[in-house]
Amino acid sequence: MPPEGSQQIDGAPVAVADYGAVGAGLDALERPTQPRTRADRLRTITRSVLPPLVAIVLVIAVWQALWAAAFWPEFQLPAPKAVGAELWRDITSGAVFGQLWVSVHRAVFGFLIGLVIATPLGLLLAKVRIVRAAIGPLLSGLQSLPSVAWVPAAILWFGITPGAIYFVVLLGSVPSIANGLVSGIDQIPPILPRVGKVLGAGRFAGARHIILPAALPGYVAGLKQGWAFSWRSLMAAELIANSPQLGQGLGQYLENGRSLSDMPTVMAAIVLILFVGIGIDLLVFRPLERRVLHSRGLTGSA
Amino acid sequence: MTATLAHSATKAIVEPAVRLTGVHKSFGRGARSVAALAGVDLAVAPGEFVCLLGASGCGKTTLLNLVAGLDTVTSGEVVRNTSRPAVMFQEAALMPWLTATRNVELALRLAGVRRADRRQRTEELLDLVRLTGVGDKRPHELSGGMRQRVALARALACTATGDDTAGLPSLMLMDEPFSALDAITRDVLQAELLRVWEATGTAVLFVTHDVREAVRLGQRVVLLSSRPGRVVREWRLGDRSSVAESATVDEINGRLREVITSHAA
């Protein structure tokens, strides 16, 4: 039934076999090259590790200089060495590990609950127009409301209990994660769901095989922000909801430093809070984000 | 010419793969509605390669969407007597997070092919479009032409599968699939498409605005008018000599120009 191969016609410049060869040549020429070598990788590491180290050293140097100039009294600006000694004392006594555990396990647990609540909420918001119209603006608004504002209400509702702390953490993390998922879904090129439809994907299969993986970059960005908000909210809650029954987390440690006017303790607590925030971001969310973006050919920050 | 004769003989007995009867399609409602298609009649026989040609705004893509079941007619009838049609778009539209192999496998999976068969079918399909050995590459690591070939393999995956549709003719719907490619790649892919078509015997409804492409590929070229779209004329291409082809190209070009000029007034 097909016509006698149009390639075999008299005068046609290219024969069948040649099309294969031309095609192979084009493939070889047009494939994006991947110039990444080991030397490159080494260079990226030095480029990404060295600058922040230099920055930290500079900050400490300026701090030391300001302290040496004695503009402020010692109880306002302690020496870097005094803060270092306080940190070292906490580490050697083992107290720091207890505090880290109390705070980090609360933040992680709160974040995970937030994840479980926010993911279906985000899907609903993105896919059901009326839900979005009803609570979309509210959720975006909640994102800009500092979650510390919820601490007084949480204490009145739940008392000084872990429940109050988790409540504040959830109000910090849920809006970020849900909004991240919504924007991830909004940014899916419309052609991909259409492809799903012509391939015969139903609503459920379409969500599982196309919508969710396609929305992953936005979702991961939301998770990252959700973690940051969880951690912040937790510190705010621990700082205010302070009671012996709650155990001593980093927030309480910081508050103790303030009540004793012990500036080295205050500074040491801030260093530890930063350390956890940055550490989890670098260990968990950066690699996750990089993997997601890299596999899609969207190279984000190197 | 023998090919054409054999073709018209089969057409008499066999039911068409797709038949459109008096298809109207308008968008919007009431006074503001815009008619995209106004009374299109068209039949595609099993195994036939039909090119739909027209200037912009002729409703080519609308027509394809109707046949694919992505949209519904305003009035008239679309009867499809085929397995699930394979669709190719202007962009490859591959899932960017899946490798070439996985993209093809996804189509098979959604078509309900068992896992054990998927691997082998995928390999055969990638071989068919000459992509042996690049199955583990992701779309961004492939050239535009290769991506479009993966899309072709994926499209073929859903024509030739599914137990419930066994025995039904297959159909491919292609919406200007090569128009975003450079001239040399397009030339190669047109040859590849003809080769794949001959190998699989699927019916093809191919939308394009390029007269030369339509004449090169199609057994039949159908010219649509613009706004609203209806069939102006069709040409059956039997004589495959380059002289006859270029004469046909000139003739169709002339007719297309007339159609476009009529809109200037």
> Is the separation of the CB atoms in B182 and B188 below 8 Å?
no
- Chain A interface includes B8 (CB < 8 A): no
- A176: tokens are 């970020």
- For A:198-217, CB contacts with B below 8 A are 198-201, 205, 209-210, 213-214, 216
Instruction: Tell me which amino acid residue A17 is.
Output: A
Which pLDDT score is estimated for A110? 92
Nearest by CB to residue A2, choosing from B97, B198, B241, is B198
Confidence label for A118 from pLDDT (cuts 50, 70 and 90)? very high
Which pLDDT score is estimated for A12? 46
Of the candidate ranges A133-137, A236-240, B66-70, B255-259, the one whose mean pLDDT is the lowest: B255-259
Which pLDDT score is estimated for B58? 67
Q: Side by side, which strands form the sheet with B75-80?
A: B34-44, B18-27, B75-80
> Is the separation of the CB atoms in B88 and B96 below 8 Å?
no
Mean per-residue pLDDT, A81-103: 89
The burial of B4, by beta-carbon neighbours within 10 Å (0-12 exposed, 13-18 middle, 19 or more buried), is given as: middle
- Residue B88: is its pLDDT beyond 70? yes
- Residue A127: is its pLDDT beyond 90? no
pLDDT in tens, B7-24: 444 444 567 778 877 777
pLDDT in tens, A34-85: 656 667 778 877 888 888 889 999 999 999 999 898 888 888 888 889 889 9
- For B:148-207, CB contacts with A below 8 A are 154, 158, 184-185, 187-189, 191-192, 194-195, 197-198, 201
pLDDT in tens, B190-212: 888 888 888 878 888 888 888 88
Distance (Å, whole) CA A173 – CA A228: 8
How many other C-beta atoms are found inside a 10 Å radius of the C-beta of residue A43? 11
Confidence label for A227 from pLDDT (cuts 50, 70 and 90)? very high
Nearest by CB to residue B192, choosing from A19, A29, A192, is A19
Quick one: angle between helices A80-93 and A263-280, nearest 10? Answer: 70
Q: Quick one: which of B139, B162, B78 has its CA closest to A199?
A: B162
Confidence label for B4 from pLDDT (cuts 50, 70 and 90)? very low
pTM: 0.74
Distance (Å, whole) CA B265 – CA B223: 21
The mean pLDDT of chain B is: 77
Q: What is the distance in angstroms between the Cα of A186 and the nearest Cα belonging to chain B?
A: 16
Which range is most confident: A191-205, A218-232, B173-187?
Answer: A218-232
Size of interface A-B (CB pairs under 8 A): 133
pLDDT in tens, A280-300: 988 999 889 888 888 887 775
> Is the separation of the CB atoms in A218 and A180 below 8 Å?
yes
Mean per-residue pLDDT, B113-123: 82
- B178: tokens are 């090569």
> Is the separation of the CB atoms in B25 and B177 below 8 Å?
no
Which pLDDT score is estimated for B164? 46
Distance (Å, whole) CA A231 – CA A94: 22
Which pLDDT score is estimated for A115? 92
Which pLDDT score is estimated for A25? 74
Query: Do the Cβ atoms of B109 and A210 come within 8 Å?
Result: no
Quick one: angle between helices B144-159 and B183-200, nearest 10? Answer: 20
- A225: tokens are 């922000």
Nearest by CB to residue A3, choosing from B95, B96, B219, is B219
Three-state secondary structure call for residue A242: coil
User: How large a percentage of chain A has pLDDT more than 70?
Assistant: 89
Distance (Å, whole) CA B215 – CA B205: 13
Q: Which residues of A touch B220 (CB under 8 A)?
A: none
Which pLDDT score is estimated for B163? 44
Mean per-residue pLDDT, A87-97: 88
Q: What is the distance in angstroms between the Cα of A142 and the nearest Cα belonging to chain B?
A: 32
CA angle, residues B228, B90, B258, in degrees to nearest 5: 35
Taking CB atoms within 8 Å and a gap of at least 24, the contacts of B237-245 are: B237/A3, B238/A3, B238/B1, B238/B3, B238/B4, B239/B1, B240/A3, B240/A4, B240/A6, B240/A9, B241/A9, B241/A10, B241/A11, B242/A9, B242/A10, B242/A11, B242/A12, B245/B215, B245/B216
Mean per-residue pLDDT, A122-136: 87
User: How large a percentage of chain A has pLDDT more than 90?
Assistant: 21
Distance (Å, whole) CA B265 – CA B258: 12
Q: Which residues of B touch A23 (CB under 8 A)?
A: 130, 145, 188-189, 192
Which pLDDT score is estimated for A143? 83
Of the candidate ranges A5-14, A110-119, B40-49, B62-71, the one whose mean pLDDT is the lowest: A5-14
Distance (Å, whole) CA A281 – CA A227: 8
Pick from B143, B172, B241 the residue to mutate for testing the A interface (most A CBs within 10 Å).
Answer: B143
Report which of residues B167 and A102 the model is more confident about.
Answer: A102
Report which of residues A56 and B144 the model is more confident about.
Answer: A56
